[in-house]
Amino acid sequence: MISMVLTLLRNPLVLAVIKMFVAIGVVMSAVPMLVWLERKLSARFQRRIGPNRVGPMGLLQSIADAIKLMWKEDFFPRNTDRLIFLAAPIMAFLPGIISFSLIPVGQAEGAEWLGPNGVMAVSYLEMGLLVMMAVSSLASYGLAFGGWASNSQYPLLGGIRSSAQLISYEIVMGMAVIALAMKSGTLNLSEIATQQQGWYLPHWNLFLQPLTFLLFLIAAFAETNRAPFDLPEAEQELVGGYHTEYTGMRYAWFMLGEYAGLWTMCSVIATLFLGGWTLPAAWMGWVGHFPWFVAALISFGIFIAKVVALVFFFMWVRWTLPRFRWDQLMKLGWTILIPLALANILITALLMEYGGLYVR
Amino acid sequence: MYSYENEVVEQTENTVHLNVGPSHPAMHGTLRVKMEVRGERVIKAEQEIGYLHTGFEKLGEYRSYNQFITLTDRLNYFSPLNNNIGFAVAVEELLGLVPPRRCQVIRTLLAELSRLADHSLCVGALAMDLGAFTSILWTFVEREKLYDVFEAVTGTRLTTSYTRVGGIAFDLPEGFESRVIAILDSMESTVEKLRGSFYKNRIFLDRTEGTGIITKEDIESFGITGPMARASGVAYDLRKYRPYLIYDELEFKVPTYTEGDSLARYKVRLDEMDESIKIIRQALKLLEPGPINALDQKHALPDKLSTYRDMESMIHHFKMIMPGSEHGLHTPVTDLYSSTEAPNGELGFHIVSDGTSNPWRIRIRGCSMLNYPIFGRLMEGSMLSDLVAILASFNIIAGELDR
C-alpha cells in the first residue's frame, strides 16, 4: 500500500498537483494563525487579553470571523466598475500564494524524486529570485484597482498611495536583491539558502550583507503595507484606504492578501538572509541518521521557526511605530534608500573585486 | 460646480472635494471638515460644527443652579469634574459664598485627577491617530484606574455631577488617599514611557514637528487658551493668573514651549501631567477632616445625613429644592463672569441672575469653541495626513463645541 503511494508520488504530474495543494494549504492555514497571532501579540503589547472566547486561547477566532464575513450583505457602491471591483481582492491575494510556491521550505536528503537534492519547493527555478520579485509586485495592482473601482475619494487616495509606494520601494528592493545576487552568484533560492549554512557558525547573509538586509527589510515593510508603511490603509486618515468600500468576503480577501503577503515576505527574508531551512552543518549532522521524511519535517520546522520569528518582528514594529506621512515616505525612498542601495551595490562589487570577501 | 448634500460646492481646477466627518475615525466626536484637496495637498479647509448640538445654555434657563450641574457633566465629557467645579466656583462667586476648607481641598484634588484623565486620553490619542495604536491603550489603563476612583468618590464614572453650590455631594470614601497615591506612581511611569517612546522617535518627530504652527499673535487674536496657548509661548494659566480654590498655596510650574507646533502641544500636556501629579501629592497632605458643605442655609444645601436627622436641615433642604419663586437659592440681581482652568483651557461661565432661583441666562465659554476656529487655516497648504496630527493635538471635544 505504502509502496504504491510512493510509486504514485514519483509521477511528476501527481507530485506537482500535490505540491500545489500543499503550498496553498500552508499559506491558507498560516493566514488565520497569523491573524490570531497578530491579535494576541497586539493584546500583549497593549496590556489587553485579546481573543479568548472561540476555541482554546481564542485560536478559532479567525474562523469565526470568516464565517461572520461570509454572511455579510453583498454590497456594491453606486457607479462602480463591477469587473475590476470584483477582481481587485483576488488580485491582491493571489501573488502571495504564487510567490510562496517558489520558496524552498525544506530538504529531504535522499528523496531525489521530490526535487533536485530533495529540496522541497513547488517550483524549483533557476531564476526563482527574479520570478519572486516579478510576482510579488503584482499585488499592488489589486490595491490600486480596488481604490480606483470603488468610485470614492478615500479609496482612490489609498490606491494612489499604494501604487506610488510600491513603485518606489520596489526599486529599493530590486537593488538590494542585485547586491545579494552578486554576492551569491545565483538566482536560485535553494542555492542561496544552502550557501549560508556554514560549519560551526552560520554564514547568514544577515551578517555578511547587513546593509542589503536592512534595505530589503525596509522595502519588505513597504511591500506588505504594514506599519510604519501602512499609508494605503491609514485607518485614521483614509478610514480604510483602498478597502473602505469593500464588505464581507471581498474585504476578507484583501485581509487574506495582506497576511499572505506578510507570510511570503517573511519566508523570502528567511530564505535570503537567514539561511532558509538550514542550520550550521555541525549541528545538523544527526539529522542524516533519520529517514528522509523525518529530515524533511525537521528542516521544514526550522524554516517555519525562522519565518514565525520574522513575523513576530513585523508585528512588533507595527504595534510600536507611528505612520509616515506621504511626502516623508517618498523622501525616504528616493533620497535616502535608493542612493544607499546603489552604494551597497558598489560596496559589494568592490569587496568582491579587491577585498577578497565573498569568495565562492 | 456640483451639489453635495444640498450644498453647492464651487470646484476649482484640479481639486477634489473631500468631506471628512462627522463620522470618521480621526474626528473624535462629531467634527466635520470640508476640504478641497489636490492630490495629498489641502488647498482649502473649512470646519463645520453643530453635529452634537445640545442646547445647554437654553436648557440652563429652565434649571435651578444645582440642577444645571448635571448639564455641565456633558460639556467636556472627558473631564466632567472640572466642569462641575468650574460652575460651582462661578455660582459661589456670584453669591459671595466660601465653601469650607476640606471641600476646597477635595475639589482641587479631583480637578487635578480629572485633568490627568483628560490629558492622558489626549496624549494617547495623538499617537494613535499617527498610527501608533499601542500608546492609547497604555494611557487608557491609567485613565481607567482614575475612573474607578471617580466612581468610588462620586458614584458614577462619567456623569459625575459631584459639586453642589457651596459644597460637594459626598465626602471622600475610605482608602481614597492610598488608591490615589498608587495611581500617581503608575501614572508617572506611564508618562515616562510615553516620553521614552516618542521624544526620540524619528517618525513621530517628523509628523509632529513643525506641523500646525500657531504663532503668539494668533493665540491672542483667536482667544486660544490652555495647553495650546502654552505651547505657543503664552504662559496663561488661570491657576496662577487668578488663583481659585487652594491653588495659591500649592507649588507648581506652568510648562511653556515656544514652538507652537503639534509636538509642543504634546509635550506641554505630558509636562502638565507631571505638574498635576505634584499638585495632587501636595494637596493630599492638606486634606484634613472637617465639614464639606458651607453652613449658609440660604444658599448651600445642608449635609444629606443631617437632612434625614434634624428638622431645621430638612426644612432648609425643602426650601432649596422646591420649585417656585419663593423657594430656592436667593441670588443677587447681577451678572458675573467667572472662569477656571479646565484641561483644555479657560472654561468660563457668564451668569446673569435676575434674583430668582433659576439663572436668567448662562453663557458658557467652552475652551474647544475658541480653540477650534484656527484649525481650517492651519490645514490650508498642509498635507492630508497632517489633519490627524493637528486635530488630535487640539483635543477638541464636541460636547463643549456645540452648546
Taking only the tens place, the pLDDT of each residue in A138-168 is 888 888 888 888 888 888 888 888 888 888 8
Cα angle value B373/B376/B382 (rounded, 5°): 145
- Å between A185 CA and nearest CA of chain B: 37
Q: Do A237 and B384 touch (CB under 8 A)?
A: yes
Residues B333, B355: Cα–Cα separation, whole Å: 5
Evaluate whether B193 touches B329 at the Cβ level (below 8 Å). Answer: no
In terms of phi and psi (left: phi > 0; alpha: psi -120 to 50; beta: otherwise), the region of B267 is: alpha
Nearest-by-Cβ selection for B131 from A48, A236, A328: A236
* List of chain B residues whose C-beta atoms are within 8 Å of the C-beta of residue A42: 133-134
Angle between helices A248-273 and A82-100 (to 10 degrees): 30
Cβ contact (<8 Å) for B24 and A324? Answer: no
Report the distance separating Cα A137 and Cα A132, nearest Å.
Answer: 9
Please state the domain extents for chain A.
Answer: 2-355
Tell me the C-alpha distance between B113 and B142, whole Å. 11
Per residue in B255-273, pLDDT (tens digit) is 999 888 889 999 999 999 9
Question: Which residue on chain B is closest to A329 by alpha carbon?
Answer: B203
Name the helix (H) or strand (E) containing B177: helix B176-198
Residues of B in contact with A48 (CB under 8 A): 137
- Over range B125-154, report the average pLDDT: 88
What value does the mean pLDDT of chain A take?
83
Q: Which residues contact B279 (CB under 8 A, 6 or more apart)?
A: B108, B112, B247, B250, B252
CB A191 within 8 A of CB A275: no
CA dist list (Å): A200 to A188, A204, A282, A283: 24, 12, 6, 8
Interval A306-349: pLDDT, tens: 999 999 999 988 888 888 888 888 888 899 999 999 999 998 88
Nine cell digits for residue A85: 471591483
- The span from the CA of A86 to the CA of A143, in Å, is 12
Given a cut of 60, whether residue A353 has pLDDT beyond it is yes
- pLDDT score, position B1: 41
pLDDT class for A282, splitting at 50, 70, 90?
low
Nearest CB to B131 within list A45, A228, A239? A228
> pLDDT of B105-116, one tens digit each?
999 999 999 999
Domains of chain B listed by start with CATH number: 64-295+327-371 (1.10.645.10)
Contact B134 A227 (CB under 8 A): no
Give B-chain residues touching A227 at CB under 8 angstroms: 131-132
Task: State how far residue A55 is from chain B, nearest Cα, in angstroms.
Answer: 25
Q: Report the distance separating Cα A74 and Cα A88, nearest Å.
A: 15
Whether residues A322 and B204 touch (CB distance < 8 A) is answered with yes
pTM of this prediction?
Answer: 0.86
**CA A207, A212, A214, A216 torsion: positive or negative?**
negative
Tally Cβ neighbours within 10 Å of residue A282: 11
- Which H helix or E strand runs over B273? helix B262-285
pLDDT tens across B14-32, in order? 788 888 878 887 777 788 8
CA angle B145, B148, B154 (to 5 degrees): 140
